[in-house]
Structures are given as C-alpha cells and as structure tokens.
Chain A
Amino acid sequence: MSSEFRLPALGADMDDGTILEWHVAPGSRVKRGDVVAVVETDKGAIDVEIFMDGVVHELVVAPGTRIPVGTVIATIDAEDAAPAPSLTPSPAPAGEGRGEGSSSSPSSTERLKVSPAARRRARELHVDVEALTGTGPGGAITVEDVERVQPTEKGGMREAIAAAMSRSKREIPHYYLSTTIDVTPATEWLAAHNAAAPVAERLLFAALIVKSVALACRELEGFSGFHRDGRYEQSTAVHVGVAVALRGGGLVAPAIMDTADKPLAALMDDFRALVTRARAGRLRASELAAPTIILTSLGEASVEAVFPIIQPPQVAIVGAGAVVERPWVVGGKVVPRQVLTLSLGADHRVTDGRLGAQFLARIAARLQSPASL
C-alpha cells in the first residue's frame, strides 16, 4: 500500500512552496531523512527530507508547481524487506560559484547559470530568473540583472517575518527579563583556546552561549517546546535555533540539532555550516521546523541588549547583546570587566517571571565555567 508524502510546513508562517526539483524518481529507494526534493519558500530554497522508508511510487507534483502546505507531493510504497541502500542526499547545485556542483540533477531550471547571490535576490523580489538574460561571466545572471527587472522592496521574506511576528504579538502574552553578567572568565578562556587551536577549531563566543542555553533547557521545563492547540508540550530533544541575519535584509533561525548533546567542537562545526548554508539559501526543512527555542545574538550589531520576540509555536527566545568592557565592582573595587546582557522573552501561558529568572541564571552559571561546556 502506498503512503502519501505531503509538503511539510517549515515554520508557522509558511503557507505554500514551489517544488524546484526532485532528487528521486519513481522506483528510487528512500529512507527516513533522505533529501528527496528542493522546495522554494519565503526562507529560500529548502531541502525537504522524507519521514519514512520505502520506494517512491509516484511523484505527484511536477517541478515549478506552487502548492499549499499539506498537499500530497509523492506516494511511497512502504518496504518490509531488508534495509534499503541509502540514497546520497547530495545538495542541489545552486548555480555556479560554489564549486561543489554535482550536476546530476534532472531539473532543467537548475542548469541556468545564476550566481547564488542573484538567485537569492530573485527570490526576495519574486523575479523569475528564467526570464532574464545574464550579463555576467559565461552569460550568468547577476544580482544586477535581477534588480534591473525589479528594483524595489524586499518581498516574500519580509511578509513572512511580518506574519510570524504579528501572530506572536497577537497570541503570545510575552514577558521580558534581562540580566547583565561578568563574562571575563569566558572571554579569557576563549582567547586562550583560540590561540592554541588550529584555525579550523577556533570557537566563537556565540557557541558558548548556544551550549549554555541548551543545557539550561535540560534543567528547567517550560522554555524548550511548543504551544499548540491550547496546551504546552515540553520537547524531549533540545534543538537551539540560531537567528541568522541575511545580508540585504531578513533573517532565518535554523536549528543546531540536539544542541545539548554536542561537544563544543561539533556544535561549532554545525553552527558554522548552518550560517553558511542559511546565507546561501541551502537550509534543510527539518532545520527550519526543528527549533525548540531560539537564541538571537545581536552582539555583532553592537547593541547591548535585545528584547526578543518569540517565534510561535515556541514559547521562549533568548537574546544576547554585545560583549563590552565596562566598570564593574569586584570585591569592593571598581575594575574593568567584559560584560554581557542576556535577555529572555517568554510565554506567560507557560511560565512566570520567577521561573524565567531562574532560567536566565542557569544560562549565566554555565557561562561562568566555559571549560565544562
């Protein structure tokens, strides 16, 4: 018997998507987690993974078709035999310029030479790249080619963010807390670690915060989970989403999966790969749908504090400002210290400020002993 595979929602604000290409054909064996299709959404081109093992029976939706979330896009015959050989979940070539181009894709739309920057701009502006004439090297379509056609406003992603944040402010009774902590021990530990480590193993301060948030989620209930259909479900897994600002506007918050279980080095590798793929528009569906809580780290923009807005159906979001040097009182003396303002936006339907304060304190405590992260 065939099972139906439907277009998954990749977040609260996604209503539809366009199949860009299929990575499988009827008869292909698939297993849970394989990337089977690339779908164009307001958050960029997303690799969609399948949730079941089996053999593809039929591809119901052709590339180029825009369809609502929940539409059956393929049918899968369940397999009872031995484990199927795995398909290689190779990333689709995103045009030229990344040097990773496997070109085995059956799609014709991906054959167009479009720079990744231009493809992303085209998505933002709702410009059909196939209708353009490229002026770049080898006839490649550049950002300028896209903007020539549609020189205005941001488009889809801005609308998606507006929809999600409006819903959040309408439905979620937020409360906000903040605390400023001395992170000098953590910055010193980090500088020493990075001075000794090979360049590829250096850490960012944000990675320490991500891990601290994940561990705090394990210790206190009510911050890592989802509020759906009038009730809260605590998530057993902790997937911290990291807010990634996109150049030229917009942001996405994909998850570092199983954040609390990962050693810092592995967490940092995932973090780095995630940011790069987010900016190249190559995120996976599961990464966008997975976050159980989000960290927004606006330190780069030099603000000292952020008052973060929850992304439904989540119930909490942690904000981190810039690490700045400030006069601080230690043992009765004023001394210069590196300080960080942590903040929390949380859902009053689930927790109160007292528990929220404890949650922030747990994160702060973890940051005091970076070597044990």
Chain B
Amino acid sequence: MDRAELTRRVLSLVTEIAPDVDAATVIPGINFRDQFDFDSMDTLNFAIALHRELGVDVPETDYAQLANLDKCVAYLMKEGTVS
C-alpha cells in the first residue's frame, strides 16, 4: 500500500469513528484534538478501527503517534506492519 492509499484509508477510518467530521475539512498536520475536539474515546475508537481494518495493534503508549493524519500515516509506514 503506498502513502496516498494509506492516507485515504486512514482518513476514511477517521470519518467512520467520528461521523460528525467532514473528511474534506481534515488538515493533515493539525492534531485531531485541536481540529475536531477529539477526546480519549475518539482515540480509542480510532485505535480499534486501525486494528480491525489494517491489522495494526497500536499500544496505548503510542497513542500520541495517532494525533494527526500526517503523524499517523508516518507511524503506520514506519511500523512496517502496513506495507
């Protein structure tokens, strides 16, 4: 999976767990918390969705790496679990 495809799938997961967020408005470098009031429940749901859809188990200690779209994609590429 290339970066563009991974970004697209991650973005679709963000709008799945937060159906009140418009995908078109997500700014890749801005934290979800600052942009959409993401809270710990959103982060947990995001981690669950990543596990279900991409098979990546993000430990709680790495949740900070999921803070925004850019960070999240970089983390998933680095982990190598998504190739």
Segment from A165-173, A195-203, A349-357 that makes contact with B:
A195-203
Interface flag for B59 (CB, 8 Å): yes
* Contacting residues of chain A (161-205) with chain B, CB-CB under 8 angstroms: 191, 194-195, 198-200, 202, 204-205
Given that A199-B57, A202-B60 are known contacts, is A300 also in contact with B40, CB under 8 Å in the complex? yes
Given that A199-B57, A200-B48, A200-B51 are known contacts, is A116 also in contact with B40, CB under 8 Å in the complex? no
Contact residues of A: prevailing secondary structure: helix
B14-40 near A? 1/0 per residue, CB < 8 Å: 011111111011000000000011011
Interface flag for B82 (CB, 8 Å): no
CB–CB B19/A97 < 8 A: yes
The answer for the CA separation of A281 and B24 in the assembled complex, in Å, is 20
CB–CB A247/B37 < 8 A: yes
Interface flag for B44 (CB, 8 Å): yes
Chain B residues in 8 Å Cβ range of A275: 41
Residue of A nearest to B17 (CB): A276
CB–CB A99/B60 < 8 A: no
CB–CB A280/B20 < 8 A: yes
Interface bracket on B: 20 to 34
Given that A199-B51, A272-B41 are known contacts, is A279 also in contact with B60, CB under 8 Å in the complex? no
* Contacting residues of chain A (259-284) with chain B, CB-CB under 8 angstroms: 271-272, 275-276, 279-281
The answer for the CA separation of A94 and B20 in the assembled complex, in Å, is 11
The answer for the CA separation of A259 and B51 in the assembled complex, in Å, is 28
Interface flag for B47 (CB, 8 Å): yes
Interface flag for A286 (CB, 8 Å): no
CB–CB A116/B19 < 8 A: yes
Interface flag for B58 (CB, 8 Å): yes
Residue of B39, B45, B52, B59 with highest tally of chain A CB at under 10 A: B39
The answer for the CA separation of A275 and B18 in the assembled complex, in Å, is 10
Chain A residues proximal to chain B, CB less than 8 Å = 94, 97-99, 115-118, 120, 136, 142-144, 191, 194-195, 198-200, 202, 204-206, 245-248, 271-272, 275-276, 279-281, 300
